[in-house]
Amino acid sequence: MSPKTKKLLEEFACAANWSTAGNPADMERFSDFVISAFQRGEHSRFLYEFLEMVGRTKSEETIQEKKKALASKLFMFNKYEDGIRLLQNFQEK
- pLDDT, position 82: 92
b/e 48-58 (16+ beta carbons within 10 angstroms → b): eebeebbeeee
Sequence ranges of the domains in the chain: 3-92
Taking alpha carbons only, the member of 63, 66, 65 closest to residue 51 is 66
Using CA atoms, how far apart are residues 87 and 92, in angstroms rounded to an integer? 9
- pLDDT, position 43: 72
Query: Residue type for 67, please?
Result: K
Enter the DSSP assignment of 16: -
The segments of the chain whose pLDDT lies below 70 read 18-21, 45, 56-60
pTM across the whole model? 0.75
